[in-house]
Structure 1
């Protein structure tokens, strides 16, 4: 359809079977009709991406970057990026894809598990040579050519934060279905593997995010036909050991937070982007026998630049609040009606009967589009669509982003009033408290017998009650 509108567009596509790993089953096509399907898309889903034809080359070879990202906490959101990563090289000089070279996997695919079988693969103990190198060695090489390395890192950090923010809403829904509410301290974390491609203009492009990245620090070497030995990889060890070591240091629930963890977090936060060019050196003040921390905190350090993107994250908090049954990930009709009622969204133009029809229509459409037909009910994506519909009805004269933000503020405000009312009943059985300087958002109506909290107090109250970790 795009080509019909733009005949000059001549893309190449890369097809990745869903559920695959280590490059298995990946292939390139020029025409969508060439896609190979075992069965159909329902039984064998695939991810199809437009192939990036102008990557940055080193020694005429295409390469990608594996960066390790620690998702330390969902609420509050905490993200760390390792100061160094891996650069994985193809083993055949790069040429832009044509119908004649689409099958040259060693030219187009950077997967280590594929290229390691190439006769051109170079194992090296040096961090700056071979078919697998440290990312810092690539940055040093680019810096010597006058490239602004701080700008490259800034763009990568932005890419990582935006990606995690996009993932966070669904992660929270999965999290609450498995982790008991109110459990003290951190209950889980995750190391993610970000695969990134630098384009010729040095713009980073996200290829994929691995939820279970390999942490092996050795490779197999064939001594004779069918006989292999495991050979340590100096590059893997340098990068991965530091990531695992510092993840455990940050997540250790037994360490004295007052004496040690603030020092480490401060150490990570105060590290400048330029310090990410080299491997960590020196020693931590609190643990003289360990090297200084290699994980750099990027969120909430840079939160103010990205908080405008967290609207869906705040919607997910509302969605989770009204799920009702522990362990479920879909909102039932009663939960949706309770959401409308508690947030005071019904009106003469939006009756509860209309709310039920909205729920049925959107839930049915999303159920038909997804492969998950287990639990019945409204999934998070359907709730987001319903929320957008409600925002557009209530705040018609504002831009879409402002409509959604205003409705979220309104919902959080009414729920904070409800929480305050319950809190007051729990303390004394009366509700007449009114904090000084409190105000009512536009479009909100205070509950009878209560007075609103200040905006900041309301947000803190509504968010603090639903911590996920």
Structure 2
């Protein structure tokens, strides 16, 4: 008995020294129930209302700014990105996707043709008339359109039309899209898929796909749209919040139910496997992954601008993470179509309904708990592991910087030129001499052990990869290096060069995605076929220009002066592109923005307006370019050469 007590005491003492992760739930609200279940299972601490201590993770239910907390002075991670809610509004998401569609028309055909209302009301009516003329010539049913409020949710305010004059839109922003009238059906019912995606970090971008999801069914058998059934919301719309009020809605009694109006995605994949081949199902899953990656690349530029506006630019852009929900429809050919992206997918694990006595009651939902609890649990584990790796890399960075400075000092005093093969010995000797002469400069035993583990793992990784660590080390000691032959970002001197070298090596450790298998999450970006996404980072590079000219200077928007200055510095003014024409271009886009966007900054161009101006300017400057992608790439290269050599030019 005494022996067991002694062992128990030793285990308790050993665990007492470990840091227990903490999560601030003050603003969790509707996420609270599932979050507390996960924290209990993990054995983590909850910081609730009234707590003044800094937590490892802050969990908000809606937005980054929720609760007016200042995150600039803490190393904590927040479960929302700045500006994400606005980015995911239907009009803003459509604008982001349209930018990519202009550059890559064949790659973004997964989103229906869309018009902005009231901005494009006349254009929509003209286009709709033209589409209907084609329908009549080909003797097919008239194309139907679906109207959605930009900031709507739960199916509210959505309706179908065939006559474009029936589009009744007040001043509130809306979109109108071509309705997908040949959806895939199961048992005669239309359905959509809710996919959960985790954006784990921005620097570098890391996106994970949750391997389980929800499938929501309509509750009235589907018929092709006609004037007789356009009003049938339970037939044409699949929103859960809408269909749960239907008399034919079937609540799932457990997570394995195969005929419920809300089912697990894995069950539906199995059911579809009886209708389609395994190869067809796998191709659809791959198309969904591509759809997710391309959509995130479309919002990435604006996401970076919003991040830089809220958090210190000197910090790596890994302070935030977010679970977002993709709503996807499958056509009868198994092609995935993006309906919308939800910045705050519901994490509730219960449901409301009216019982037999006519009372409104809330009951637990087995299917929601099964899916969402694992989703939140694995997200928390991922995030805290990423945060711990970041701390370790920062410790390595500090230690390496100190060691490298000692090497330079040692070499300067000795005026010696040591061959590259002796670099490791130099580091070792310098560290020993420093410890002998000044014990305060010695690195702690714990950090040394961690650094040894890091170096061991890094050497193992480098044995299979072509790295530049040798070149970096030689740069530290060789006085005869010709800096003019190096990359522009490396042509810096003395102490700066040491820091740059150290940061590069730290990035190798910090930026390597965690490869340990974690249940239900799959890394889809970076992907094994990442080269196909390479050109899609062009708008992100334009965002870096905007950040340099606007955000870093403390402005909220780009005024006329920095826009003119951009043209002047980048030598864009010539006989074909005069400063007067540049001023006119700015004014044209500025007033267009003010006319249709009441929330736009009063002082100048926001980023979406700037990128529109950038494209128009590129077409004027490089009018002989074959495509917009070509002209925008050329203008980007010109701007980068003149503005910031540390920003890599596009390939």
TM range (shorter): 0.7 to 0.9
What is the distance in 2 between the residues matched to 1:75 and 1:346? 35
* 1:53 aligned partner: 181
* 1:450 aligned partner: none
* 1:172 aligned partner: 304
SS in 2 for 1:150: helix
The answer to which structure has the higher helix fraction is: 2
Q: Deviations over 1:284-333 (max 9, x none)?
A: 6xxxxxxx332211112143212222222221111111005666441022
TM-score, normalised via structure 1 length: 0.77
What's the offset of the Cα at 1:233? Answer: 1.8
What's the offset of the Cα at 1:351? Answer: 4.7
| CA distance 1:121–1:406, change in 2 (3 Å) | same
* 2:271 aligned partner: 141
What is the distance in 2 between the residues matched to 1:263 and 1:343? 35
Matched, 1:410 2:540: no
SS in 2 for 1:118: coil
In structure 2, which of residues 366, 373, 388 is the aligned counterpart of residue 255 of structure 1? 388
Q: Kindly indicate whether the alpha-carbon contact (under 8 Å) linking 2:570 and 2:642 is maintained by their aligned counterparts in 1.
A: yes
Matched, 1:317 2:577: no
In structure 2, which of residues 234, 241, 244 is the aligned counterpart of residue 106 of structure 1? 234
* 2:23 aligned partner: none
What's the offset of the Cα at 1:168? Answer: 1.8
* 1:346 aligned partner: 573
| CA distance 1:14–1:361, change in 2 (3 Å) | closer
Q: Kindly indicate whether the alpha-carbon contact (under 8 Å) linking 1:363 and 1:377 is maintained by their aligned counterparts in 2.
A: yes
Give the aligned length.
395
Matched, 1:265 2:491: no
What is the distance in 2 between the residues matched to 1:78 and 1:134? 25
Q: Kindly indicate whether the alpha-carbon contact (under 8 Å) linking 1:322 and 1:338 is maintained by their aligned counterparts in 2.
A: no
Q: Kindly indicate whether the alpha-carbon contact (under 8 Å) linking 1:94 and 1:108 is maintained by their aligned counterparts in 2.
A: yes
What's the offset of the Cα at 1:116? Answer: 1.1
What's the offset of the Cα at 1:145? Answer: 3.1
| CA distance 1:459–1:263, change in 2 (3 Å) | closer
* 1:16 aligned partner: 148
What is the distance in 1 between the residues matched to 2:648 and 2:322? 27
Q: Kindly indicate whether the alpha-carbon contact (under 8 Å) linking 2:202 and 2:318 is maintained by their aligned counterparts in 1.
A: no
State which structure, 1 or 2, has the greater radius of gyration over its C-alpha atoms: 2
* 2:648 aligned partner: 459
Q: Kindly indicate whether the alpha-carbon contact (under 8 Å) linking 2:201 and 2:317 is maintained by their aligned counterparts in 1.
A: no
| CA distance 1:94–1:327, change in 2 (3 Å) | farther
TM-score, normalised via structure 2 length: 0.56
What is the distance in 1 between the residues matched to 2:605 and 2:641? 24
Matched, 1:199 2:331: yes
Q: Kindly indicate whether the alpha-carbon contact (under 8 Å) linking 1:196 and 1:205 is maintained by their aligned counterparts in 2.
A: yes
SS in 2 for 1:265: coil
What's the offset of the Cα at 1:13? Answer: 1.9
What's the offset of the Cα at 1:78? Answer: 2.1
SS in 2 for 1:144: coil
SS in 2 for 1:214: coil
What's the offset of the Cα at 1:349? Answer: 4.7
* 1:128 aligned partner: 258
Q: Deviations over 1:386-430 (max 9, x none)?
A: 32233234433321221211221222233344x6xxxxxxxxxxx
Q: Kindly indicate whether the alpha-carbon contact (under 8 Å) linking 2:145 and 2:179 is maintained by their aligned counterparts in 1.
A: yes
What's the offset of the Cα at 1:74? Answer: 3.2
What is the distance in 2 between the residues matched to 1:263 and 1:78? 10
Unaligned stretches of 5+ in structure 2? 1-125, 136-141, 391-453, 458-508
Q: Kindly indicate whether the alpha-carbon contact (under 8 Å) linking 1:70 and 1:189 is maintained by their aligned counterparts in 2.
A: yes
What's the offset of the Cα at 1:50? Answer: 1.9
* 1:2 aligned partner: 127
Q: Kindly indicate whether the alpha-carbon contact (under 8 Å) linking 2:202 and 2:317 is maintained by their aligned counterparts in 1.
A: no
| CA distance 1:360–1:223, change in 2 (3 Å) | closer
Q: Kindly indicate whether the alpha-carbon contact (under 8 Å) linking 1:186 and 1:251 is maintained by their aligned counterparts in 2.
A: no
146-155 or 383-392, which deviates more: 383-392
SS in 2 for 1:410: helix
| CA distance 1:178–1:416, change in 2 (3 Å) | closer
What's the offset of the Cα at 1:373? Answer: 4.7
Structure 2 counterparts to residues 269-288 of structure 1, below 5 A: none
Q: Kindly indicate whether the alpha-carbon contact (under 8 Å) linking 2:203 and 2:511 is maintained by their aligned counterparts in 1.
A: no
Structure 2 counterparts to residues 48-447 of structure 1, below 5 A: 48-124=176-252, 125=254, 126-147=256-277, 148-184=280-316, 186-225=318-357, 227-252=359-384, 254-256=387-389, 265-267=514-516, 292-301=518-527, 302-324=529-551, 328-347=555-574, 349-400=576-627, 401-417=629-645
| CA distance 1:394–1:20, change in 2 (3 Å) | closer
What's the offset of the Cα at 1:55? Answer: 0.6
* 2:425 aligned partner: none
* 1:289 aligned partner: none
What's the offset of the Cα at 1:71? Answer: 1.9
Q: Deviations over 1:179-230 (max 9, x none)?
A: 2222356221221111100000101111111111111111124335453433
SS in 1 for 2:191: strand
What's the offset of the Cα at 1:61? Answer: 0.9
| CA distance 1:395–1:80, change in 2 (3 Å) | same
| CA distance 1:127–1:72, change in 2 (3 Å) | farther
